[in-house]
Amino acid sequence: MTNRTYIKGAVLVLIALMLAALSLSGCPEPKPDGTTPGGGSDTTKGGGGKTLVSIAVTPPTKNRYIIGETLNTGGMVVTATYSDSKTAAVTGYTTSGFDSTTTGQKTVTVSYEGKTATFTVTVINPQLPTVATPAASPPAGTYTAEQSVTLSSTTTGAAIYYTTNGTDPTTSSALYSGAISIRVTTTLKAFAVKDGMNNSMVLTAVYNISGGTFTSIDELGTWLSSQPVNSAATAYNVKLTVNNLGGDYNTAGSLGYVIRNNNTKYVNLDLSGNTFTSIGKNSFAYCTSLTSVTIGSDVSSIGDGAFSECTNLKSVTIGSGVTSIGGLAFGGCTNLTSINIPGIVTKIEDGAFYYCTRLTSVTFVTGSNIPDANFGNNSFPEGEYGYGGDTLKNAYSTGKEGTYKRPVNGTTWTKQ
């Protein structure tokens, strides 16, 4: 092999010459991340990168036309969804299907790189009367229970078509024939038609259903999964009447399992009026979307860890029939600020309200007389971090029924 000697700096020159040679030979120059254009890291179509999955259309602002007018796409937005779940507004789409030579509803198709989406517009004849827009009763709004909605038009003989999925109705949509049951949050749209008249405007009515009464856990689960994400401030008001809770929070099909697996749907849970007599161990543990609970008078015991780590639980009503509260039953309920203990309670296990950092008021209802031996250690929080202590237990041993409080972050409980 011939020896080659390079003077200082020649190596850099040689590298530059090699890169230039690669470029001239048609080989793409490496990118900073080590890939080459069109290679496996390509984020456009093909090449192992993301692909276009679908498109969606926000319809144009103008949705009614007079015969002879041309389509106005002002305000229209076409959004592409890719295989990596990312979305982007796109241009370069085409439209088809708009025909303003005749009256009626027209379906416009938007096409972009092999994917399509549609929207509807209406073409009218200004020489003809227009059907009256349907009215809904009760009107759009927020309701705490299922609604039975009726539709009507003041135009005699008009047929009404409607949808409940937020899409614009057409004459291929459901024909209204009687009251529509709305149990979940729904966008109802309807329009009316009659021969010899222009189609009506489209009614849009949004019904926010913030609660309901249910007779099975499955029924509640189906309803809850179909509801939109909410916040603790707008929690759904749910009343459930069942014979049992179906097991702890890890048991598929149990009430705790359903609530925990819908942890973006906050719930105020009313369990009053049920026939079961106990809330078992860990029934609602880690149900962080549970904001309040009402326990019925048929319940006599609340098991160990029943509501432990329900960190958004702010309000608890313990039924008048409860006689025992298990260990860590409400442990870690860091948003609970006050609690009333029924006078019939005869046992509070160790750490029942341990680490309830904001709990500052406890009322033992008239008749309360828990034996010292049945009042567990570290049952109530003390100090900034809510670690259990016994100052409330000691105060209760002489004070019995009444309200006991501690300052925020305070250690000592005193009878008021």
Top pLDDT among 190 and 44 is at: 190
Q: What is the pLDDT of residue 229?
A: 94
Asked if pLDDT for residue 276 goes beyond 80, the answer is yes
- Degrees, nearest 5: CA angle 141-142-145: 125
Mean pLDDT confidence for 138-160: 96
pTM of the model: 0.71
Q: Is residue 31 part of a domain?
A: no
- End-to-end CA gap in the chain: 99
Beta pairing partners, 136: 151
In a domain, 314, yes or no: yes
Residues 193 and 230 in one domain: no
CATH of the domain at 56: 2.60.40.3630
Among the candidates 208, 232, 261, a domain finishes at 208
- Summarised one tens digit per residue, pLDDT across range 35-81 is 333 333 333 444 457 899 999 999 999 999 999 999 999 999 999 99
**pLDDT confidence band for 144 (50 / 70 / 90):** confident
Pair (233, 332) in one structural domain: yes
**Is 23 inside any structural domain?**
no
Q: For residue 234, is it within any domain?
A: yes
Residues 238 and 92 placed together within one structural domain of the fold: no
Tell me: the pLDDT tens digits for 287-301? 999 999 999 999 999
- Please check whether residue 94 lies inside any domain of the structure: yes
- Cα 349 to Cα 328: distance, rounded to the nearest angstrom: 8
Same domain, yes or no: 184 and 258: no
Q: Is the pLDDT of residue 339 over 70?
A: yes
- Which range marks the domain in which residue 214 is found? 210-415
- Sorting pLDDT into bands at 50, 70 and 90, what band is 2? very low
Tokens of 274: 């049920």
Same structural domain, 117 and 190: no
246 and 308 inside one domain: yes
Cβ 255 vs Cβ 283: under 8 Å: yes
Question: Does 383 lie in the same domain as 234?
Answer: yes
Same domain, 83 and 173: no
In this predicted structure, what is the pLDDT of residue 38?
A: 32
Same domain, 167 and 227: no
Give the pLDDT of residue 376. 96
Final residue belonging to a domain, choices 124, 154, 173: 124
**Contact partners, residue 45, CB within 8 Å, separation at least 6:** 51, 52, 113
**Residue that terminates a domain, selected from 102, 124, 146:** 124
* Total domains, the chain: 3
150 and 293 share a domain?
no
Same domain (yes/no): 164, 116: no
